[in-house]
Amino acid sequence: MSLLIFLFLITLFIGSFVHLETSTFINPFIKSIIVLFCSLLLFIFIYLKLRKMKSSQILFGISGLFLGILTGFLLSIPLLILSNYSVIPRDSMSREISLSYLQFLAFSIITGFGYAGALLGLKQAKTTKIADILWIIKKEVIWEEPKILDTNVLIDGRIADLVELGFIKGTILIPRFVLREIQYIADSPDPLRRAKGKRALDILQKIKKAEKIKFDIIEKDIPEIKDVDTKLVEITRTLRGTLITNDLNLIKIAQLRGVPVLNINELAQVMRPPVLPGEVLKLFIVKEGKEPDQGVGYLDDGTMVVVEEGRQYIGKSIDVVIHSVLQTSTGRMIFGKPKIKDSSDEIQDEV
């Protein structure tokens, strides 16, 4: 309501000013007093109004007002041109009145479009933040593709090592609602969840201090979308960035929306050294397997190795001959058998 009053005052002021300036029936001194009084009232009202508004509302409101005024001015040009035609009465008084109302009508159109532009600008300010616009402008100027991180990849922690080693460069963004989710996990009464949340916060600090990337927390949100995964995908699509995650459900949603995704787990699988059948590995047998007489060990990258006839070697390091590799959706499993030493090897070991 206050905005309507504000715009009404602007319209009234402009119309009165134009009418006073084109009229010769009022003393010039009185004109000056009236215009000065209206200007002071308008200035006080604008000052009180802007004090209650956010910077984003001021920016969008002024931008919308400017574009609206520009549009109204272009549309009112025919009215201003009309004042030069013969349809305007030639006697001085009638012509003065006609010109006055034509100009008042033109300025009313300009003010009306300015009002509409300001309303649209204020409405847009509710869903768009200045920081997001600056990110988009910055990205267009220097052609930067931001990377947006989700909660799971921060809890995982490997992203910090990739950043530190320089495999991930550019700008890394964390939406504010992702940070709130991590803080909620860090405050959980469950010790395991609390430990994961604190680890994610430590990873954030580590990424923030990295010199090879730019890091920022963005305020952008989509209130009408309640699902966090969908919201994260839409924000990534809006910023035309890449989503970094290891959440399979989130990856599927992003792929359906055509959003680029970097899967940390897939990257880890690609970086694992290949293991071929017939290769011999030095392996420490940790525990027994599911099947009788099986032993289980792990490579340095965490890959499980099932050793047939390896149960008797639990707690020992042995040479294992690989005979097969099974690739699954979650990783790979390697199967092998203890290397049987021949007599020459045993004699050499004794020496």
Nearest-angstrom CA–CA distance, 210 and 18: 60
Q: Give the global pTM.
A: 0.50
The amino acid sitting at 33 is I
Q: Which comes out higher in pLDDT, residue 144 or 283?
A: 283
The answer to whether residues 67 and 117 touch, using CB atoms and an 8 Å cutoff, is yes
> pLDDT tens for residues 261-280?
998 888 877 777 788 888 99
Q: Which comes out higher in pLDDT, residue 79 or 83?
A: 79
Enclosing H/E stretch for 169: none
Nearest-angstrom CA–CA distance, 342 and 351: 15
The answer to whether residues 170 and 213 touch, using CB atoms and an 8 Å cutoff, is yes
> pLDDT tens for residues 24-49?
444 554 555 555 555 555 555 565 56
- Summarize the confidence of residues 206-220 as an average pLDDT: 85
Q: Which of 286, 283, 314 is nearest to 299 (CA)?
A: 283
Q: Which residues contact 239 (CB under 8 A, 6 or more apart)?
A: 132, 135, 136, 139, 146, 148, 173, 220
Q: Which comes out higher in pLDDT, residue 257 or 97?
A: 257
Q: Lowest-confidence range among 24-38, 180-194, 215-229, 332-346?
A: 24-38
Taking 50 as the threshold, does the pLDDT of residue 76 lie above it?
yes
* Three-state DSSP class for residue 36: helix
The answer to whether residues 85 and 51 touch, using CB atoms and an 8 Å cutoff, is no
Confidence of residue 321 (pLDDT cuts 50, 70, 90): very high
Average per-residue pLDDT in the chain? 75
Give yes or no on whether 143-270 and 274-342 have one common fold.
no
Taking 70 as the threshold, does the pLDDT of residue 139 lie above it?
no
pLDDT at 125: 65
pLDDT at 70: 84
Fold of the CATH domain 274-342 = OB fold (Dihydrolipoamide Acetyltransferase, E2P) (2.40.50)
Nearest-angstrom CA–CA distance, 253 and 263: 13
**Structure-token pair, residue 154:** 């921060």
Domain ranges in the chain are: 2-125, 143-270, 274-342
Give percent above pLDDT 70 in the chain: 66
Cα distances (Å, whole numbers) of residue 293 to 16, 299, 311, 313, 348: 99, 20, 5, 10, 28
Taking 80 as the threshold, does the pLDDT of residue 154 lie above it?
yes
- Summarize the confidence of residues 107-120 as an average pLDDT: 75
Give 145's DSSP letter.
Answer: -
Decide yes or no: CATH 3.40.50.1010 for domain 143-270.
yes
Taking 50 as the threshold, does the pLDDT of residue 350 lie above it?
no
Taking 80 as the threshold, does the pLDDT of residue 6 lie above it?
no
